């Protein structure tokens, strides 16, 4: 039996397994070997000795490429945990107005999972979409950490100098976790210090959860690896709209689902498949080696269509958090030479910016209680799309990423009358606004709308104006007889009904 997420302890071998076709890949994924990549007729697997025996029993040959954890000592120009920590600390101190450093909690061996928040009010909840980049969930794939550091430097040093960067930082709540698996990074291993592949160790749908956090499904971290549990809590606290996690070993953007009950190699589209294709291309188009891939059309693929994995972070983000998360493979070489880092940054800088900017497409708004003005936990659905998103309970803001088109969008919350917006037009530009003050079920309003101590035709006209969306000029004396009375009220009602 292969070990799934792990733990894999003792010697873990990196092996190449030649396979004859998609059926063989499907068999290996079904048996939950820890596949790191699939390229044509070769699958790369991280396996302990007993798994190598099983591979042989199943009729596969394999070739050992190396041992997990080997080959890291010569690569000192990369930033390990200590220098990542020092750099992030220095950035936070140098740019206190727009950067704040926090830890999402410790790893198995007590290293912090650092998060640098970058925004005009870092760490404060505002009516802004929240975005995250995470890197190095696999400890032997450290290139993403370096790109995150370059990206942090770009945002902080260009803020106030480059209008595009200034606008991004002012209008987005950006969070960057450059090193999600610091213990694995230090050891040069794929898994964490327990020998577990963290990108196979997130809750599995539907075995571990069946709904979304916004629909009340509890956040259950029991039994999870520490790094996974801390990232789950951090993600749940921030309600990210769009995100990506960086890997190496291949070159593409892959998007959910990684697993949806179909065989490995078969497409497993989400309800937002067209959106995912679009944002994946938004990244790959700016990265010429990726865009020109001969292996993946446009440098993108559905996860399951590439190869199925169980318990991935991106599927959990999408299904449980309603966050559009993708997996970005940056390089065929897992740990490219340090001297090539500037070239990788060149290939990814514009892609990272445009992908971040994509968080602003679609429809956005704030949902409040019509009586109290307080934020409401609301469910946001779009006609013809089964995936809901939810308001961020701290501010009541929602950000529904949508491609250009005309949509019917409904806001629902327990204990409130729902509100539907029809013919909402989304363009390629910034999100269309659709705010709503939801009326509590059974609410009784004071009919004295203008608070003049009298309920009369003026109040009725105010209500009618509001319903019809008319501008404000109010003269309750509709018939001009010098008196506001029931006759005027009748005239207003007649006018409203004629409409």
Positions that interact with Zn ion (CB under 5 A): 138, 141, 247
**CB nearer to Zn ion: pick between 35 and 460:** 35
Burial of 136 (0-12, 13-18, 19+ CB in 10 A): buried
Closest CB 12 distance from Zn ion, rounded Å = 14
Core vs surface per residue 374-395: b (16+ CB within 10 A) or e: ebbebbbbbeebebbbbbbeeb
Nearest distance, CB of residue 68 and Zn ion, angstroms: 13
Partners of 106 in beta bridges: 112
- CA 184 – CA 482 distance, rounded (Å): 83
Q: Which of 329, 357, 383, 414 is catalytic?
A: 329
The distance of closest approach from Cβ of residue 150 to Zn ion in the complex, given in angstroms and rounded to an integer, is 19
Rounded to whole angstroms, how far apart are CA atoms 277 and 300?
Answer: 7
Angle, CA of 347, 350 and 353, to the nearest 5°: 135
Whether the bond between 243 and the residue before it is cis, its omega within 30 degrees of 0, is no
Q: Is 368 helix (H, G, I), strand (E, B) or coil?
A: strand
Of 312, 243, 311, the closest CA to residue 283 belongs to 243
Residue 325 CB, shortest distance to Zn ion, in Å, is 14
Tokens of 171: 């209008």
Name the residue nearer to Zn ion (CB basis): 7 or 142.
142
Query: Measured on CA atoms in the order 474, 479, 484, 486, is the torsion positive or negative?
Result: negative
- Known catalytic residue at 329: yes
Between 141 and 397, CB nearer to Zn ion:
141
Intra-chain end-to-end CA distance of the chain, in Å: 71
How many Å apart are CA 28 and CA 44, to the nearest integer?
11
CB of 261 to Zn ion, least distance (A): 23
Say which residues have a Cβ less than 8 Å from residue 98's Cβ, sequence separation at least 6: 118, 119, 120, 122, 156, 159, 169
> Is the Cβ of residue 245 or residue 287 nearer to Zn ion in the bound state?
245
Q: Which residue is nearest to Zn ion (CB)?
A: 247
Please say which residue, 331 or 381, places its beta carbon nearer to Zn ion.
Answer: 331
Helices 457-468, 486-498: axis angle to 10 degrees equals: 10
Of the pair 91, 133, the CB lying nearest Zn ion is at: 133
**Rounded-to-integer distance, Cα 347 and Cα 368, Å:** 43
CB 254 to Zn ion: min, Å: 11
Closest CB to Zn ion among residues 152, 313: 313
Shortest approach of Zn ion to residue 277 CB, angstroms?
21
Nearer to Zn ion, 238 or 312 (CB): 312
Q: What is the DSSP letter of 416?
A: B
Hey, what are 2's tokens?
């292969």
Does an H or E element contain 314, and which? Answer: helix 313-321
Q: Pull the structure tokens for residue 93.
A: 């101190």
Cβ pair 148, 246 in contact under 8 A = yes
In the complex, the smallest distance separating the C-beta of residue 247 from Zn ion, rounded to whole angstroms, is 3
Say what the alpha-carbon torsion angle 138, 231, 209, 242 is, to the nearest 10 degrees: -90
Of 141 and 186, which has the nearer Cβ to Zn ion? 141
CB of 248 to Zn ion, least distance (A): 7
Phi and psi dihedrals of 35, rounded to 5?
Answer: -85, 130
Active-site residues, by number, are 329
């Amino acid at each position: 039996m292969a070990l799934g997420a792990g733990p894999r302890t003792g010697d873990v071998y990196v092996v190449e397994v030649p396979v004859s076709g998609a059926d063989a890949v499907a068999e290996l994924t079904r048996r939950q070997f820890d596949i790191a990549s699939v390229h044509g007729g070769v699958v790369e697997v991280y396996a302990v000795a007993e798994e190598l025996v099983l591979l042989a029993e199943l009729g596969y040959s394999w070739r050992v490429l190396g041992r997990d954890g080997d080959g890291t000592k010569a690569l000192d120009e990369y930033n390990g945990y200590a220098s990542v920590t020092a750099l992030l600390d220095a950035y936070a101190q140098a740019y206190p107005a727009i950067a704040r450093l926090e830890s999402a909690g410790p790893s198995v061996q007590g290293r912090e999972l650092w998060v640098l928040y970058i925004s005009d009010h870092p760490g404060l909840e505002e009516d802004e979409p929240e975005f995250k980049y995470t890197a190095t969930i696999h400890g032997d794939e450290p290139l993403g950490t370096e790109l995150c550091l370059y990206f942090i430097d770009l945002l902080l040093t260009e803020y106030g100098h480059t209008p595009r960067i200034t606008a991004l930082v002012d209008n987005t709540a950006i969070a960057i976790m450059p090193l999600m698996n610091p213990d694995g990074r230090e050891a040069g291993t794929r898994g964490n210090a327990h020998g577990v592949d963290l990108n196979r160790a997130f809750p599995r749908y539907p075995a571990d959860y069946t709904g979304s956090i916004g629909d009340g499904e509890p956040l259950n971290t029991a039994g999870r690896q520490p790094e996974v549990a801390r990232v789950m809590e951090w993600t749940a606290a921030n309600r990210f709209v769009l995100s990506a996690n960086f890997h190496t070993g291949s070159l593409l953007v892959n998007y959910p689902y990684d697993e949806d009950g179909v065989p490995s190699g078969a497409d497993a589209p989400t309800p937002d498949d067209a959106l995912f294709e679009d944002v994946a291309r938004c990244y790959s188009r700016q990265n010429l080696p990726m865009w020109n891939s001969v292996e993946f059309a446009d440098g993108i693929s559905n996860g399951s269509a590439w190869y199925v994995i169980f318990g991935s972070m991106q599927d959990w983000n999408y299904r449980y958090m309603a966050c559009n998360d993708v997996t970005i493979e940056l390089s065929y070489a897992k740990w490219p030479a340090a001297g090539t880092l500037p070239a990788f940054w060149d290939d990814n800088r514009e892609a990272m910016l445009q992908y971040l900017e994509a968080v602003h497409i679609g429809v956005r708004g704030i949902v409040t209680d019509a009586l109290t003005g307080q934020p409401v936990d609301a469910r946001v659905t779009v006609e013809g799309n089964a995936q809901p998103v939810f308001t961020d309970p701290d501010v009541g803001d929602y950000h529904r990423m949508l491609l250009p088109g005309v949509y019917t969008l409904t806001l629902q919350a327990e204990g409130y009358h729902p509100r539907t917006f029809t013919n909402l037009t989304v363009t390629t530009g910034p999100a269309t606004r659709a705010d709503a003050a939801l009326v509590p079920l059974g609410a009784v309003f004071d009919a004295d709308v203008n608070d003049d101590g009298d309920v009369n035709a003026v109040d009725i006209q105010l209500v009618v104006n509001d319903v019809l969306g008319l501008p404000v000029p109010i003269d309750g004396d509709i018939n001009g007889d010098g008196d506001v009375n029931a006759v005027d009220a009748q005239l207003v009602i007649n006018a409203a009904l004629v409409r």
